[in-house]
Amino acid sequence: MKVTARAIFIAAIIVFINFFSACTSQVQNHQGEWPQWMGPNRDATWSLDLEKRSLDTDDLEKVWEAEIGTGYCSPTVADNRTYVMDYQESPVPSERVLCYNAGTGEKEWEFSYETNYTVGYPTGPRASVLIHGGKAYSYGTMGELYCLDAKTGSEIWHVNGKEAFDISIPVWGLSSSPIIVDDKLIVQIGGEPDACMVAFNKDTGEELWRALPDRASYSSPILIEQAGKQVLVIWTGDNVTGLNPHDGSVYWVVPFRQSRSVINIAMPVIQWPYMFLSCFYDGSMLIKLSEKSTSASMVWHRKGESVRKTDALHCIISTPFIQGDHIYGVDSYGEFRCLDLMTGDRIWKDQTLTPYGRWSNAHFAFDRDRFWAFNEKGELVLGKVSPAGFTELGRAHLIDPVRVSPNPRGGVNWAFPAFAGRNVFVRSDAQLICYRLKDD
């Protein structure tokens, strides 16, 4: 059969159209999901199809709200479903995994199990529900790890971490959100022996490897590429470590032991070749990652006299960010700061983003040259930063804090929102609310 140039051209056009349509569909689906802690790539990027240059309450329309229990677990969104965890003390103390229709707020299923909290701030689960391949993975405050069917909530497998790994539960409970790499669900467990990090087969729950004798922290792992290899970066209670995610072997270790007590919650943030970390008691550290080998070294470490007399940045709950040659983050008492990346010297400070108070904070998400900050009062703030200062472009109140003991300041909202499509999902200790961002 003779193939003409015209036929080849038409076939090429059809292939291109199909490819473009598939890519467009993938982008739309990707933009409409927030399937794990801090978004699809764990970098808190909110990809919007509109450009907002200002913000007020009228720019957000409430779509639905649902009653839930207490918790710090951030919502996640996938396949038009929203997932969250909470804690209920009656009729028996229980953690719940809840699934709602993301468009209507109708509850699709609920999975609960009995658990008794023996931690500080016993007001609910901390780690986000991870959605992957039709499965929902939840990690409770006391170490209960579940794999559920994401559509129906039926149990697929379960590991009691405390029993299986002899976990020493941290003071404020297990909070590190799991991550999936290929066929592995990797969890910071803080178990024995040498089981700070454990990898499970994501489909069966079988243990695949364990690594590190370190104490567990509250910080969640991230996956990076270094010198052509995948590297799992985890900040434990003792070290910052780069692991081979496929077998748990150690590539590099930079000591950063928590001196007073383990209270590092923020994730490591990277702007190649630098990685920045900050915590409440022990201040900040800048690490340089080698681009030619899987190695790392400390550039500087700065720590203040106390959590009131801080140096550089002493973050608590929110993860800071790097923009250009500067670091931006919220200090121990809610002060928004700018630092010089290479020295840690303070450039400016601001107290308008979030209220003054011990552990006051705001969570950041990013879209092009702007950021969205959700502060503990339940306000969404649109802003920009530069070495010259913080520019607020407006704010909208989304959800009221709930007075739940022992939360400070009459109640705070400490859970990171989910940003999916044009929707913002926020939670308190009593409500889960979905808002939609309107066109300009």
**Do the Cβ atoms of 68 and 98 come closer than 8 Å?**
yes
The pLDDT of residue 13: 41
The CA–CA distances, whole Å, from 179 to 164, 176, 191, 411 equal: 20, 9, 17, 30
Mean pLDDT estimate for the chain: 92
Strand partners, 242: 233, 252
pLDDT bracket for residue 9 (50, 70, 90): very low
Q: Is 304 left (phi over 0), alpha (psi -120 to 50) or beta?
A: beta
The pLDDT of residue 284: 97
Q: What's the rounded Cα separation, in Å, for the pair 424 and 292?
A: 40
Which amino acid is residue 113, in one-letter code?
A: Y
E strand or H helix at 45: none
Does the pLDDT of residue 32 top 90, yes or no?
no
The CA–CA distances, whole Å, from 438 to 51, 63, 89, 127, 294 equal: 11, 11, 38, 30, 45
Model confidence pLDDT, tens digit, residues 284-308: 999 999 999 999 999 999 999 999 9
Q: Is residue 82 part of a domain?
A: no
Q: Is 297 exposed, middle or buried (0-12, 13-18, 19+ CB in 10 A)?
A: exposed
The pLDDT of residue 259: 85
Q: What's the rounded Cα separation, in Å, for the pair 336 and 352?
A: 8
Q: Give the torsion sign (CA, 158, 159, 162, 163).
A: positive
User: Read out DSSP for 149-208?
Assistant: ETTT--EEEEEEHHHHHT----TT---PPPEEETTEEEEEEEETTTEEEEEEETTT--EE
Does the pLDDT of residue 18 top 90, yes or no?
no
The pLDDT of residue 311: 95
Q: Is residue 394 part of a domain?
A: yes
Angle at alpha carbon of residue 235, lines to 306 and 127, rounded to 5°: 100
The pLDDT of residue 303: 96
Q: CA end-to-end span of the chain, whole Å? A: 56
Kindly report the CATH number assigned to the domain that includes residue 349. 2.40.10.480
**How many contiguous H segments (helices) and E segments (strands) does the chain have?**
2, 32
The pLDDT of residue 4: 54
Domain boundaries, position 323: 48-67+265-440
Q: Is residue 133 part of a domain?
A: no
Q: DSSP assignment, residue 70? A: B
E strand or H helix at 220: none
Model confidence pLDDT, tens digit, residues 65-83: 999 999 999 999 999 999 9
What is the bridge-based pairing of β-strands 431-437 and 423-427? antiparallel
Model confidence pLDDT, tens digit, residues 388-400: 999 999 999 999 9
Q: Is residue 237 part of a domain?
A: no
**Do the Cβ atoms of 332 and 303 come closer than 8 Å?**
no
| Predicted TM-score (pTM) above 0.85 | yes
Does the pLDDT of residue 52 top 90, yes or no?
no
Model confidence pLDDT, tens digit, residues 418-433: 999 999 999 999 999 9
Taking the CA atoms of residue 374, residue 379, residue 381 and residue 385 in that order, the dihedral angle to the nearest 10 degrees is: -60
Cα maximum dimension of the chain: 83
User: How many domains does the chain divide into?
Assistant: 1
Higher pLDDT: 91 or 439? It is 91
Q: Is residue 104 part of a domain?
A: no
Q: Is residue 112 part of a domain?
A: no
pLDDT bracket for residue 102 (50, 70, 90): very high
Model confidence pLDDT, tens digit, residues 133-180: 999 999 999 999 999 999 999 999 999 999 999 999 999 999 999 999
Q: Is residue 60 part of a domain?
A: yes
Q: What is the mean pLDDT of residues 39-66?
A: 93
Q: Is residue 299 part of a domain?
A: yes
